[in-house]
Amino acid sequence: MYIIVNKKNDSIHSEPTRRSYRSSQYKTEAAAKAGITRTVKFYDKAKAQVAEVVAEGKSEYHAPMYNAFRDATDKDLGRTHCADKNNYRVMHVEEYALIEPMITKTGIAPGTGKEITVTYSINQPHYMNPLSETYWSA
């Protein structure tokens, strides 16, 4: 199994056109490379759509894909690398497990009120973190 890795922060990339519940793993390296191509085409389509709306005399935010356009072009968001094909690389899952970045945070757990230190993967969803209120609200 292969995954697409974001070179900027070594996190696992999930295609913007894929449903959030779908796996970000691919059976072959070629399928993962096709995923990179689909990602770049998605952001190119967003840029073209906004350019078309602006050409009609409307503001940028009238385009349906305006948020994707901002991701690819707004420097303040810090995500302009997401539309760059050179920002992604394909890795085998076992190879990625050796370099997966971990984050260590200390804070007060909302559920207990005690100070805890938590180490978790950069790819872990926010709601799985014991320092988040969502973790305790079930």
User: Which DSSP string do the residues of the chain spell out, in sequence order?
Assistant: -EEEEETTT-PBP--TTS-TTS-SEESSHHHHHHHHHHHHHHHHHHHHHHHHHHHTT--GGGSTTHHHHHHHH-GGGT-GGGG-GGGEEEEEHHHHHHH--EEEEEEE-TTT--EEEEEEETTS-GGG-TTSHHHH--
Residues 26 and 73 reside in one and the same domain: yes
**pLDDT confidence of 74, banded at 50, 70, 90?**
confident
Residues 6 and 64 reside in one and the same domain: yes
Residues 76 and 41 reside in one and the same domain: yes
Residues 95 and 106 reside in one and the same domain: no
Distance CA 90, CA 31 (A): 10
For the chain, the domain total comes to 2
Residues 6 and 20 reside in one and the same domain: yes
Residues 92 and 24 reside in one and the same domain: yes
Q: Residue 72: pLDDT above 90?
A: no
Residues 70 and 124 reside in one and the same domain: no
80-91: average pLDDT: 84
- How many Cα atoms are found within 13 Å in the side-chain-facing hemisphere of 25? 8
Range of the domain at 130: 102-136
Residues 72 and 88 reside in one and the same domain: yes
Residues 70 and 129 reside in one and the same domain: no
Residues 115 and 71 reside in one and the same domain: no
Tens of pLDDT along 7-57? 888 888 888 888 877 888 899 999 999 999 999 999 999 999 999 999 999
Residues 69 and 112 reside in one and the same domain: no
Residues 21 and 70 reside in one and the same domain: yes
